[in-house]
Amino acid sequence: MKSGGRRPILRMMAVRLGLGLFTLLVISVLIFLAVSLLPGDIAQQVLGQSATPETIAAFRRELGLDQPLALRYLAWIGGVFTGDFGRSLANGRPVSELLAARLGNTLFLAAYAAAIAIPLAVVLGLLTALWRGSWFDRLANTLTLSAISFPEFFIAYILMFWLSVYMGWLPSIADPGAAPDLVDMLRRALLPALTLVLVVTAHMMRMTRAAVLNVLAEPYITMARLKGASRWRTITRHALPNALAPISNVIAINIAWLITGVVIVEVVFVYPGLGQLMVDSVTNRDMPVVQACALIFACVYILLNLLADVLAIATNPRLLHPR
């Protein structure tokens, strides 16, 4: 590819990156405003009803709540850039320590679900494209559409009742404990991972099917079939490589959802991840932790969406080989 062909791609990537950073800045403002404008006095709720006005005023000064809203935001976002998210109001520990202890569990669960969902969705998408209009195609579409029609907590409770309570195969509580081995951790996290798999597989499968069928309508696919290539070879060798752009895009978006959409699943299965920490912190009015969790979820979602945009641009044949 000539250097002249690279410039439009690099320019579009730079624009996407700039928009992503601007979006993240706007979201950080919205998160801070949403937390700051919650009803009730945080200092009063943390110290209790028996606290004196002098104690409450001193505590507000210590937290910086007596400062203007704009200054408080600048102090908070400045600390975020240096890795300082403040201290928890519940136990006084640095928020960064609490996040580090939980973020790894959330990433593990998302990676576990993605390792099952991505190959399953791609294979199902290829098979439904191969046998388009068959009973297998109709059955796969019906089952996957039914899975995404139900909310995550409903699927979670159904799986918990069936695989844990009724069959007794898996534990209903996904807490891996202090120092589990990998096999035990995979077993305990299987139920929440299956819940996430059922939710995201349908999107990726249908996009794979649609992308492959769209490529199969191209003239060079007809030429390959006329030369004697089997339908499966035509799909895997010719259609799939040319359909990778939309498939990789939807995979990146669904991975972003896996990481940011685990809150309900973690709460249902009492999984010690970032989503569970965020819900507990909302209950305890631990606002520094809530702000940090929300910002991390937003950052991961935006970065993975940026990755999806970059992959779509970088694999676009019209941009890679301009006339």
Sign for the pseudo-dihedral over CA of 146, 147, 149, 153: positive
Question: Is residue 133 in some structural domain?
Answer: yes
Residue 66: is its pLDDT beyond 80?
A: no
β-bridge mates for residue 87, sequence order = 94
d(CA 24, CA 32): 12
User: How many Cβ atoms from other residues are within 10 Å of residue 306's Cβ?
Assistant: 20
* Domains held by the chain: number: 1
Residues 111-140: what's their mean pLDDT?
86
Question: Is residue 84 in some structural domain?
Answer: no
pLDDT bin (cut points 50, 70, 90) of residue 321 is: low
Question: Is residue 194 in some structural domain?
Answer: yes
pLDDT bin (cut points 50, 70, 90) of residue 323 is: low
Residue 4: is its pLDDT beyond 60?
A: no
Domain at 295, CATH number: 1.10.3720.10
Average pLDDT, the chain: 79
pLDDT tens digits, one per residue of 205-233: 888 888 877 877 777 777 777 777 677 77
Residues 239-266: what's their mean pLDDT?
78
Instruction: Print the SS3 string covering 47-88.
Output: HCCCCCHHHHHHHHHHHCCCCCHHHHHHHHHHHHHCCCCCEC
Highest mean pLDDT among 57-71, 223-237, 277-291: 277-291
pLDDT bin (cut points 50, 70, 90) of residue 317 is: low
Residue 1: is its pLDDT beyond 50?
A: no
Record the pTM.
0.79
Length of the chain counted residue by residue: 323
- pLDDT of amino acid 169: 82
Residue 90: is its pLDDT beyond 80?
A: no
Question: Is residue 68 in some structural domain?
Answer: no
Structural domain harbouring 114? 100-315
- pLDDT of amino acid 123: 87
Locate all alpha helices (DSSP H) within 85-151, ordered by sequence.
Answer: 95-130, 135-149
DSSP state letters, 231-290: HHHIIIIIIHHHTHHHHHHHHHHHHHHHHHS-HHHHHHTT--SHHHHHHHHHHTT-HHHH
- The angle formed by the CA atoms of residues 212, 12 and 78, to the nearest 5 degrees, is 115
- pLDDT of amino acid 49: 66
d(CA 109, CA 306): 22
pLDDT tens digits, one per residue of 8-36: 667 777 787 888 888 888 998 898 888 87
